[in-house]
Structure 1
Amino acid sequence: MGPDQVGGGLLRSEGGQDVRSSPGTLNGTEGLRAQNLSQILTMVHRHGPLSRSELTRRTGFNRSTVGALVLALTGKNLVRETEPTGGRVGRPSPIVEANPGIAVLAVNPDIDALTVGVVGLGGRVHARVRRETDTLPTLDDTVRLTGEIVADLDPVLAGLDRLLGVGIALPGLVNAGTGRVLVAPHLGWRDTDLTGPFGSALALPAVAANDASLGSLAESIFGAALGVADAVYLNGSASGIGGGIVTAGAQLVGSRGYGGELGHTLVSPGGSPCHCGRSGCLDAEVRLERLLEAAGADGGGIEALERLLSGDPGKEVLAEAERQVGLLAVALVDFVNIFDPELIVLGGFLGSLVGFAGARLEDAVNEASLAGRVDVRRAALGPELLLVGAAELAFQPLLASPA
Structure 2
Amino acid sequence: MSERATTAEGVRRTNLGEVLRLVHQVGPRSRAVITTETGLNRSTVSDLVLRLVTAGLVEEREPDPTRRVGRPSPVVVPSENIVAIGVNPEIDAIEIGAVALGGRVRERVRVDAAEPGIGEVVAVVADVVARWRAEALAGCRIVGAGVAVPGLVRMADGLVRLAPHLGWQDADIAAPLTEASGLPVTVGNDASLGARAERLFGAAREHEDVVYLNGGASGIGGGLILHGRLIGGVGGYAGEWGQTAASITDARDRRVEGGVLEDEVNRARLLASAGLGSADDARLAQALGAPDVQVGAEAARQRRILAATLGNAVNVLNPSMIVLGGFLGVLRQTDAQGFDDEVRRRALAASAEGLVLSSAALGADRLLIGAADAAFERLLADPLR
TM category, shorter: over 0.9
Contact (CA 8 Å) 2:132, 2:138: kept in 1 or not? no
2:163 is aligned, of 184, 208, 223, to 184
2-structure distance, mates of 1:58, 1:337: 35
1: CA distance between counterparts of 2:69 and 2:211? 44
Q: Is the 8 A contact 2:86 2:371 kept in 1?
A: yes
Q: 2:17 aligns with which of 38, 45, 49?
A: 38
Write the distance in 1 (CA, Å) between the matches of 2:139 and 2:225.
33
Q: Is the 8 A contact 1:295 1:313 kept in 2?
A: no
Residues 1:28 and 2:7 aligned together: yes
Q: How far apart are the structure 1 equivalents of 2:27 and 2:363?
A: 20
1:105 aligns with 2:105: no
SS in 1 for 2:309: helix
Contact 2:247 2:309 in 1 (8 A): no
> Partner residue of 2:330?
352
Using the TM superposition, name which of 332-341 and 364-373 deviates more: 364-373
The structural deviation recorded for 1:221 is: 0.4
2:96 equivalent to 1:116: yes
Distance change (3 Å), C-alpha of 1:299 and 1:167: same
Cα distance in 2 for partners of 1:350, 1:31 equals: 45
Give the structure 2 partner of residue 3 of structure 1.
none
Aligned to 1:15: none
Q: In 2, are the aligned partners of 1:112 and 1:301 still within 8 Å (CA)?
A: no
User: Counterpart in 2 of 1:17?
Assistant: none
- Per the alignment, in what secondary structure is the counterpart of residue 34 of structure 1? helix
What CA distance in whole angstroms lies between the structure 2 residues aligned with 1:388 and 1:244? 15
The DSSP-based 3-state class of the residue aligned with 2:196 is helix
Backbone CA RMSD of aligned residues: 1.8
- 1-structure distance, mates of 2:132, 2:270: 32
Decide whether the 8 Å contact of 1:272 with 1:279 is kept in 2.
no
Q: Structure 2: how far apart are the matches of 1:192 and 1:313?
A: 45
TM-score by length of 2: 0.92
- Give CA-to-partner distance per residue, 1:270-296, whole Å, 9 cap, x none: 8455xxxx8321111111111111111
Tell me the equivalent position of 2:111.
Answer: 131
Label 1:192 to 1:222 Cα distance change in 2 as closer, same or farther (>3 A): same
1:300 to 249, 257, 279: 279
- 1:329 to 1:27, Cα distance in 2 relative to 1, 3 A: farther
Question: Higher RCO, 1 or 2 (CA under 8 Å, sep at least 6)?
Answer: 2
Residues in 2 aligned to 1:369 and 1:209: alpha-carbon distance in whole angstroms: 31
Q: 1:381 aligns with which of 343, 358, 362?
A: 362
- The answer as to 2:341 corresponding to 1:363 is yes
The offset of 1:81, in angstroms, is 0.2
For the 8 Å contact 1:219–1:385, the answer to whether it is kept is: yes
Which one-letter code corresponds to 2:156 in the other structure? G
Structure 2 counterpart of 1:193, from 172, 181, 202: 172
Could you say what secondary structure the match of 1:253 adopts? coil
Residue pairs, 1:151-162, within 5 angstroms = 151-154=130-133, 156-162=135-141
Contact 2:198–2:366 (CA under 8 A) maintained in structure 1? yes
For normalisation by structure 1, the TM-score amounts to 0.88
Structure 1 SS opposite 2:65: coil
* Structure 2 residue aligned with 1:165: 144
| 1:146 Cα offset (Å) | 2.3
2:122/2:173 contact within 8 Å kept: no
Task: Tell me the equivalent position of 2:53.
Answer: 74
Please, which runs of 5 or more residues in structure 2 have no aligned partner?
Answer: none
Change (3 A) 1:169 1:160: farther
Q: Deviations over 1:73-119 (max 9, x none)?
A: 00100000011122423222110001111001110000011100111
Deviation at 1:228, TM superposition (A): 0.7
Equivalence for 1:248: 227
Q: Which amino acid aligns with 1:43?
A: L
Mapped to 1, the partners of 2:368 and 2:172 lie a distance apart of 21
Structure 1 runs of 4+ with >6 Å offset: none
The change in CA–CA distance for 1:156 and 1:353 in structure 2 (over 3 A counts) is: farther
Q: Secondary structure at the match of 1:93?
A: coil
| Residues 219, 380 of structure 1: 8 Å contact kept | yes
* Letter paired with 1:96: V
Moved more, 78-87 or 101-110: 78-87
Taking a change above 3 Å as real, the CA distance of residues 154 and 299 of structure 1, as seen in their structure-2 partners, is farther
Change (3 A) 1:117 1:325: same
The 8 Å contact of residues 247 and 308 in structure 2, kept in 1 or not, is answered as no
What amino acid is aligned across from residue 171 of structure 2 in structure 1?
T
Partner-residue secondary structure (3-state), 2:332 = helix
| Contact 2:217/2:267 (<8 A) preserved | yes
Instruction: Give unmatched runs, 5+ long, in structure 1.
Output: 1-25
Identity of aligned residues (%): 44
CA distance in 2, matches of 1:393, 1:190: 22
Provide the secondary structure at the position in 2 that maps to 1:66. Answer: helix
C-alpha contact (below 8 Å) 1:126/1:156 kept by paired residues? no
Amino acid across the alignment from 1:307:
Q
